[in-house]
Each structure stands twice: as C-alpha cells, then as structure tokens.
Amino acid sequence: MPVTPNAENTFTIVRRPLKESERKTLERLMTMQKDVQRGRAKLAERRSRENVVHGRGGRDWVVRKTVTKLVHVEIGQTFTIHVSHNILPDLRSVEQYLEVA
C-alpha cells in the first residue's frame, strides 16, 4: 500500500474486517479526521453540561452519558488523515481492508 508519510492520505474501506480488533483499529484511524475530532469535542462539551448529578454516600455522584459514535466501519467509507510515523503500524495491520485513493 503506497502511503506517503507526513502527508494527508485518503483511504477507502474495501472489505469488512473479520476480527473485532481490526474493526476497532479502523474506527480509531477514522476518528483521527479533523471533522470527527471537532464533533467529538463538541459532543463531549455538551455531555459535560448535561450530566446527571445525584447524592450517593453523602457526596455528589456524576452519571455521564455514553459517547456517541460518529464513525462506522462500512464498505465504501472514506476518510482522510495525516499519516505520521506513529500510526504506520496501525495502517499496516489493517492494510488488506483499505485502498489508498
């Protein structure tokens, strides 16, 4: 897979991962997009404002809402990320499911 390090690369998912760990790796790579990071930050801020606080054991207990998933690993999904040397091993582990555009 010809990936250009230290540059923006666009990937397309061409096959569905067989293992749960490979699906999670693809999700982690897809969440590195700038738009997804921005959306996750906004949702985290909103969740922190909408926390449910009630007493438990004589102190405040905060019940946070679960995280909303913004990315889904499906065939045909494309994502563009900045490829650094830190994520090259992750890309190599799932390269059979990706195509570089």
**Amino acid identity, residue 50?**
E
pLDDT at 101: 86
Range of the domain at 53: 7-100
This prediction has a pTM of 0.85
Cβ atoms of 97 and 6 closer than 8 Å? no
Q: State the DSSP code for 79.
A: E
Question: How many domains are contained in the chain?
Answer: 1
Distance CA 59, CA 11 (A): 48
**Amino acid identity, residue 100?**
V
pLDDT tens-digit readout, 1-53: 789 899 999 999 999 999 999 999 999 999 999 999 999 999 999 999 999 99
> Which pLDDT band, with edges at 50, 70 and 90, does 89 fall under?
very high
pLDDT at 41: 97
Does 2 map to a domain?
Answer: no
Tokens linked to 45 = 């801020």
- Concatenate the DSSP letters of all residues of 31-46 into one string: TTSHHHHHHHHHHHHH
**Amino acid identity, residue 4?**
T
Does 15 map to a domain?
Answer: yes
Strand 52-56 with 59-63, pairing:
antiparallel
Does 1 map to a domain?
Answer: no
